[in-house]
């Protein structure tokens, strides 16, 4: 399938076409993002942001044969923007305490966060996504898309999910309530 056919199919909502675009280009996008010195999490944000820009701009692509170059330019811009935004910022365990007490060990805490907190946070994330994976459609796709494209508009998300824009909000509410109920039930189990 040519790039033009793939883009036409993606515009028509063909999931296989989107998967083909992602499979073909993701490796290079990740390489460029990581080459900018970004952490794995920041690189993931940059790559997801790049795919979101493609979703927003796909209908305006004039030369489909240059989609790879367009994606690489976009991921570079996203990576540079994030690098500039985070340059010089320092994570602090407790910003109020940092201002009140300039104890050097606070800086150590900011650079070396509590390992127990890291493990608990990662475990919580794994539990959340395992639960999402057990959900039925459209909830599973809707929640995954919400997480990967948090800045996308309702119309864009609805189109991507193949539903009317007016149905997106109520469906999202039902899915979030179902997820909340499932997680609460899991927490209640010994």
> How many angstroms separate the CA atoms of 59 and 54, rounded?
9
In whole angstroms, what is the distance from residue 107 CA to residue 90 CA? Answer: 9
Q: Where are the domains of the chain?
A: 3-91, 115-188
- What CATH number labels 3-91? 1.10.1740.10
Degrees, nearest 5: CA angle 106-79-69: 170
**What is the end-to-end Cα distance of the chain in Å, rounded?**
52
Q: What is the spatial distance between Cα 181 and Cα 171, in angstroms, rounded to a whole number?
A: 15
Question: For the domain 115-188, what is the CATH code?
Answer: 1.10.10
pTM of structure: 0.46
**pLDDT (tens place) for every residue of the chain, 190 residues total:** 677 788 888 888 888 888 888 888 888 888 888 888 878 888 888 888 888 888 888 778 778 788 888 888 888 888 888 877 766 544 444 444 444 444 444 444 445 556 666 666 667 777 888 888 888 988 888 888 887 776 777 888 888 888 888 888 899 899 999 988 988 888 777 6
């Amino acid at each position: 399938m040519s790039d033009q056919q793939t883009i036409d199919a993606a515009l028509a909502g063909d999931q296989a076409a989107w998967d083909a675009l992602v499979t073909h280009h993701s490796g290079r996008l990740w390489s460029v993002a990581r080459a900018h010195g970004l952490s794995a999490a920041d690189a993931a944000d940059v790559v997801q942001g790049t795919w979101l820009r493609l979703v927003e701009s796909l209908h305006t692509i004039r030369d489909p044969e240059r989609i790879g170059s367009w994606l690489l330019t976009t991921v570079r811009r996203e990576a540079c923007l994030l690098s500039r935004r985070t340059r010089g910022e320092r994570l602090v365990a407790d910003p109020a305490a940092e201002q009140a007490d300039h104890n050097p060990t606070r800086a150590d805490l900011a650079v070396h966060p509590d390992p127990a907190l890291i493990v608990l946070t990662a475990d919580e994330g794994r539990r959340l996504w395992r639960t999402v994976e057990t959900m039925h459609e459209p909830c599973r796709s809707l929640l995954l898309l919400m997480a990967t494209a948090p800045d996308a508009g309702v119309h864009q998300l609805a189109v991507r999910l193949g539903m009317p824009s007016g149905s997106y909000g109520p469906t999202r509410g039902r899915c979030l309530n179902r997820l909340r109920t499932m997680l609460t039930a899991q927490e209640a189990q010994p």
